Structure 1
Amino acid sequence: DNKLCCADIIPCNKNNITDDECCYNQMTSTGATYSSKNNQHCFDGHVVQALPGTKPCTRFSFYNPDTQICCGGKVGDISSDHNQCCDGILYNSKSQQCCDSEISNIPVTEGRCCLVDSKVYRFEDPSNPCISSCNDTSYDYSNEVCCDGIVHTLHSNTECCGSSAIDSSTTDCCGGQFPLTRNGKMKCCGNRDLFDKRYSKCRNGKVVLKD
């Protein structure tokens, strides 16, 4: 086949027999084919030829992802001071940190980002609106959760189950205190009692032995 479908919109004739991808330009509503195997890339609707081992950072500049970083159209060395990207701006990860797209001069070893007001506060700073108390232990409720006096790291599906923190997408909580893996051998009866499904069953909210 001498044609490729470009962005599921228009058919394009191959420029070369080795072309396997198509680059669609929304501004001109046109497409051009290219060969990804020959280190060609589609960048902002234009086909660009990268040097071996590099990727395009802009249409006219390239970087080596093993040793460099592309940030906001600028190329930086990973080994240099400014080796991380914060919303298009390079910053020094040893002396700074990125907090909600803003760069702070307080490093992660000395403070933490609070997403309540998008600011970095030093550890134990009493003015930090994200700091609460968990059994006399300070914790950041934007990144952590307190479960019955125990501090846990907060993830997208984290919920408390007694003093444990569970992933609610894979784990249930029995009686508000017993974590249960959904495909595990232990089950919950009446939302209060644990039982091993191999030997017992739940009948009318009570655990009974299997016949």
Structure 2
Amino acid sequence: MKLSLLIFLVTTYGAMGKKGIAHKKTCEPHNPSFKICCNGVLQNKGINNECCGTEAYDSTFKICCYGVVQNRGLNKECCGTEPFNPEMKMCCKGHLHYRRLNKECCGTEPFNPEMKMCCKGQLHYRGLNKACCGREPFNPDFKMCCNEKLYTRKPGYVC
């Protein structure tokens, strides 16, 4: 579903950034006081106009998320095509989650770094662990990591 949506958006709008366009097509000559050129399409100009693909919108009340115009409300950022308020939610690789105590992402999952740690996309309870060795958490006071393999720490030993 997401891949087909992305293909549709790229086909319709070209390669896009958050506002919806990476490179703009030009319009015929026009008076910028009354018209706005949105990727090659002239639109009537309103207040606080911005472009989202070929559509003009009022950025005071609307938000453009990868080619889709939606109501802004308290939303300030986009997670894919979904707008969200970063004070209440967070986006982890295109998936929205309530923020609660979560402050970071591990792949598509949110987590609280005081309780858990992320090692190459895998979540683990922190405990006494302070570092990662590949996908495994470890405590450098007792172990050492060499080429993503754990060894018992011995005085004077190095990788």
Q: Within the alignment, does 1:52 sit opposite 2:74 as a pair?
A: yes
Name which of 118, 122, 146 aligns with 2:139: 122
Larger relative helix fraction:
2
Matched AA of 1:112:
A
Matched AA of 1:113:
C
Unaligned ranges ≥5, structure 2:
1-31
State the TM-score, normalized to the length of structure 2: 0.56
Which residue is equivalent to 2:25? none
Which residue is equivalent to 2:20? none
The alpha-carbon deviation at position 99 of structure 1 amounts to 2.3
Greater CA radius of gyration, 1 or 2?
1
Matched AA of 1:47:
V
| Structure having greater relative contact order (Cα 8 Å, sep ≥ 6) | 2
Which residue is equivalent to 1:88? 108
CA deviation map 1:140-175 (0-9, x unaligned): x9xxxxxxxxxxxxxxxxxxxxxxxxxxxxxxxxxx
Matched AA of 1:22:
C
The alpha-carbon deviation at position 119 of structure 1 amounts to 2.9
Matched AA of 1:69:
M
Q: Which stretch shows the higher mean deviation, 50-59 or 97-106?
A: 50-59
Larger relative strand fraction:
1
Matched AA of 2:143:
P
Which residue is equivalent to 1:99? 119
CA RMSD after TM alignment: 3.3
- Give distance in 2, aligned partners of 1:18 and 1:119: 53
- Give distance in 2, aligned partners of 1:40 and 1:138: 60
The alpha-carbon deviation at position 46 of structure 1 amounts to 0.8
Q: How many residues align?
A: 120
Unaligned ranges ≥5, structure 1:
25-30, 142-211
The alpha-carbon deviation at position 129 of structure 1 amounts to 2.0
Which residue is equivalent to 1:200? none
Matched AA of 1:70:
C
